[in-house]
C-alpha cells in the first residue's frame, strides 16, 4: 500500500455513483477500501461501456469480466466481498468487520440500514471510535429532519433542486443538467473529505460519530453564486449560456474547428488579447476599457472577439495568446487523450481487463502527493472476488450451511 491514507480501513457499502466516487478517492490515496456488495452486486456493474468479454462472465466470475466502464471508473483500488445483509449471519460478519475499521459509509435511503440492523447505532455499539458516513438525497434525520427525507433522489434531482440546472445551458433556457453528473460527483467528493475529517477527530478524541452529505445540500454549496447573488441583492441568476453573467470576456468563443475558452477580465490580460487580435485601440476604448463597460457593451466586444477567433483554428488561437491570456481549447475526449499535460500529469490510467479483453483507460487521480503518492494500484474487483481473503484478514469465516 502507498498513499497518505494507507493506514485507514474503510467499509464501503455504497453503490451507484455518488458513494463509490467518494470511496474511490480514498482508495486512490491508499486507504484499504472494502466494497460490500449484495449477492447480485452493485447495479452499476452492468452499465456501459461494456467490454467484449462482458457476456462471458459466469456466476462464479471465473471467465470474462462482470463490469463495464462505468463501474471500473469509480471502483478501482477496491476489493469486493459479497454479504447478504438480509441474512443474520452476514449482518454479523459486517458488524464484526466494523470493529476493526476506521469508517463505514453507505448511500441507502433513510432508514434502510437501520431496518437491516446495521445502521449507525448498531455499528457504534460495536466500535465507538468508528466514523459512519452517509450520502442521502436530502440528508439524514440525525443531522436535520428534511420534509423530503424519505424522497428518493438522483443526480438530476439534486442538480435541479440545488440551483445548478437553472443556471446551466443557453441563455433563456428552462434549465439544463450539467454534462457530467455533478449531483453525484460533488456529494461523493464531500463524503471523502468528511471521512478524513471525522477520522482525524476520532483519533484526537477517541470517539467516532455519524455524518451525512445531502445531495441537495451539496449542490446548493456547489451553486454558491446562485445563493450569494440572491442573498446580497435579490438577483435571480438566469442560465449562463456561453458567457459569464458579470465579466467580459469570460466565456466560450467559436473557432474554425470547434471552440475556445477565453477569460480576460483584468486590464493586463485584456491588453494582451487586444494586441494579439490587432485591435490595440480597444484597450482604452470607452466601450471596452474595463470589464464592467465590456459587459455593458457585450454585443460589440463579443462580436470583435468572435470575428477574430472564428477565422482561426483552435491551435492557431493558442499559438497567438497561449501563456499570455487565460485560454484553452474546448477539448473532445480524443484531444484530452492526446494533450501533453495529461501525459505529464498521469491523468489517464490504462490497465488490462481480465478475460479476453483489450487494455482500457480511466481517469487518473487528480490528487498528487510528492512523498506519499497515491494512484492506481489494483484493477476494479469482480463481484465477490476477495470475499474469502477479506474474511481471513479480519479473522472471520462463514458458518457452513446446515
Query: Which residues are annotated as catalytic?
Result: 184
Query: Which three three-digit cell numbers place residue 118?
Result: 446495521
Residues 6+ apart with CB under 8 A from 252: 242, 243, 259, 260, 261, 262, 330
d(CA 318, CA 156): 35
Give backbone dihedrals phi and psi of 342, rounded to 5 degrees, phi first. Answer: -60, -40
Structural contact between residues 192 and 211, judged by C-beta atoms closer than 8 angstroms: no
On the CB side of 183, how many CA atoms lie within 13 Å of its CA? 22
Q: Which run of H or of E encompasses 213?
A: strand 210-214
Strand order in the sheet with 258-263: 250-255, 258-263, 327-329
CA angle 187, 193, 199 (to 5 degrees): 130
d(CA 56, CA 77): 23
d(CA 101, CA 27): 14
Amino acid at each position: 500500500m502507498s498513499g497518505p491514507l494507507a493506514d485507514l480501513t474503510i467499509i464501503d457499502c455504497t453503490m451507484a455513483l455518488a458513494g463509490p466516487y467518494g470511496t474511490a478517492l480514498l482508495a486512490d490515496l491508499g486507504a484499504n477500501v472494502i466494497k460490500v456488495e449484495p449477492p447480485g452486486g452493485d447495479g452499476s456493474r452492468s452499465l456501459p461501456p461494456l467490454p467484449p468479454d462482458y457476456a462471458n462472465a459466469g456466476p462464479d466470475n471465473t471467465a470474462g469480466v462482470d463490469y463495464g466502464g462505468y463501474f471500473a471508473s469509480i471502483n478501482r483500488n477496491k476489493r469486493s466481498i459479497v454479504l447478504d445483509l438480509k441474512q443474520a449471519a452476514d449482518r454479523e460478519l459486517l458488524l464484526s468487520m466494523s470493529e476493526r475499521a476506521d469508517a463505514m459509509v453507505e448511500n441507502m435511503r433513510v432508514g434502510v440500514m437501520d431496518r437491516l440492523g446495521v445502521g449507525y447505532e448498531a455499528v457504534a455499539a460495536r466500535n465507538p471510535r468508528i466514523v459512519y458516513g452517509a450520502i442521502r438525497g436530502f440528508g439524514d434525520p440525525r443531522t436535520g429532519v428534511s420534509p423530503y427525507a424519505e424522497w428518493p433522489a438522483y443526480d438530476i434531482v439534486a442538480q435541479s433542486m440545488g440551483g445548478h440546472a437553472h443556471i446551466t445551458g443557453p441563455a433563456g433556457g428552462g434549465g439544463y443538467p450539467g454534462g457530467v453528473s455533478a449531483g453525484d460527483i460533488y456529494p461523493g467528493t464531500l463524503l471523502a473529505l468528511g471521512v478524513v475529517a471525522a477520522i482525524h477527530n476520532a483519533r484526537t478524541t477517541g470517539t467516532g460519530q455519524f455524518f451525512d452529505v445531502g445531495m441537495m445540500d451539496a449542490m446548493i454549496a456547489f451553486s454558491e453564486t446562485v445563493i450569494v447573488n440572491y442573498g446580497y441583492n435579490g438577483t435571480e441568476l438566469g442560465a449562463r449560456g456561453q458567457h459569464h453573467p458579470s465579466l467580459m470576456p469570460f466565456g466560450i468563443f467559436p473557432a474554425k474547428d470547434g471552440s475556445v475558452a477565453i477569460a480576460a477580465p483584468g486590464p493586463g490580460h485584456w491588453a494582451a488579447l487586444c494586441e494579439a487580435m490587432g485591435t490595440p485601440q480597444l484597450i482604452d476604448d470607452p466601450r471596452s476599457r474595463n470589464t464592467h463597460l465590456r459587459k455593458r457593451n457585450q454585443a460589440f466586444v463579443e462580436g470583435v472577439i468572435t470575428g477574430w477567433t472564428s477565422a482561426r483554428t483552435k491551435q492557431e488561437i493558442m499559438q497567438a495568446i497561449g501563456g499570455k491570456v487565460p485560454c484553452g481549447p474546448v477539448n473532445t475526449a480524443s484531444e484530452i487523450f492526446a494533450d501533453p499535460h495529461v501525459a505529464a500529469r498521469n491523468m489517464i490510467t490504462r490497465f488490462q481487463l481480465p478475460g479476453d479483453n483489450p487494455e482500457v483507460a480511466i481517469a487518473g487521480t487528480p490528487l498528487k502527493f510528492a512523498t506519499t503518492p497515491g494512484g492506481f494500484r489494483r484493477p476494479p474487483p469482480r463481484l465477490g472476488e476477495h470475499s474469502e481473503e477479506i474474511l481471513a484478514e479480519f479473522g472471520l469465516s462463514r458458518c457452513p450451511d446446515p
